[in-house]
Amino acid sequence: MKNTWIVLVLVFWQGLVFGIEQDYYQALMRSGNEAYQSNQWDSALANYEMVLDAGLKSTNLYYNVGNVHFKLGNVSEAILFYERALKLSPGDQDVLYNLNIANTRIIDAMESLPTPFYKDWFTSFRNTFTSKGWSYLGLVFFWLFCASVVLFLLTQQAFVKKLAFVVALPLVLIAATGMVMANQQQNSCTSEDSAIVFQASVNVQSEPSANSTRLFVVHEGLKVSISQQVNNWFEVVLPDGNKGWIHADELQII
């Protein structure tokens, strides 16, 4: 009995602390939003960064941080946080709009290589929902599938049994699709396969060494894909397909 009370007290205390922390960070977000509305960019950023330092993340938070950095003229930082917001909410029109504007401010305006239509289709389909949205869809249709199976097993009416059997197959296919897409979307959100150049001018080397041949120069704000890592060097692929090595200190992972 004594142990039960201890557990209950600990659970209550953890819930209380969690609630206080949530209220605190929500207050910081409100203060940041109010400062932003008053054009107090530095104050807004300070509030948002305290939330970021706590390890919290959300589309709204990243979007707001990106907006503040853009107002402050920090284009690379703005692009970084807009890209992070898109990882959580792919297809968000507000984020995409601001990201496109920010990208007009960078030096390296490159045309991306065309991708196969099926990859574009798959990405567009995957981005229809967030990982949580796909999970909910999968669970709903899984339970509908279970209900149709139960109905098939219990009913004695031939027509209802046939209907339950016919309906069960598409239901389980949709449920499986939802779970697969949820996993794909989650992998996309947590992957570290792209980065933003964070130095005014960066030499792209032929090998993972500062003493190797310089291939070309890129500038801050450019988004690159990461294909592999060797020690503190990343092999990156530019939007136009060119490859080379950049030191980790000159990039920020999205």
Q: Which pLDDT value is given to residue 21?
A: 61
* In the predicted structure, residue 234 carries a pLDDT above the cut 50: yes
Superfamily of domain 2-103: Tetratricopeptide repeat domain (1.25.40.10)
Of the pLDDT bands very low, low, confident and very high (cuts 50, 70, 90), residue 9 is: very low
**pLDDT tens digits along 90-99:** 889 999 999 9
Cα–Cα separations (whole angstroms), residue 32 to 45, 99, 234:
7, 21, 35
**pLDDT tens digits along 151-208:** 999 888 989 899 999 999 999 999 999 999 999 988 888 888 899 999 999 999 999 9
Find the mean pLDDT for residues 38-45: 94
Answer whether CATH 3.90.1150.10 is correct for domain 194-253.
no
CA-CA distance, 252 to 13, in Å (whole number)?
38
Find the mean pLDDT for residues 109-116: 77
Q: Which pLDDT value is given to residue 52?
A: 94
Q: Which pLDDT value is given to residue 124?
A: 87
Phi-psi region of 195 (alpha: psi -120 to 50; beta: other; left: phi over 0): beta
Q: Parallel, antiparallel, or unpaired for β 251-253 and 194-197?
A: antiparallel
Q: Which helix (H) or strand (E) holds 140?
A: helix 131-154
* In the predicted structure, residue 8 carries a pLDDT above the cut 90: no
Q: Which pLDDT value is given to residue 4?
A: 52
CA-CA distance, 181 to 175, in Å (whole number)?
10
Q: Which pLDDT value is given to residue 105?
A: 93
Q: Which pLDDT value is given to residue 224?
A: 95
Indicate the average pLDDT of the chain: 88
In the chain, where the domains are located: 2-103, 125-190, 194-253
* In the predicted structure, residue 101 carries a pLDDT above the cut 70: yes
| pLDDT top residue among 28 and 10 | 28
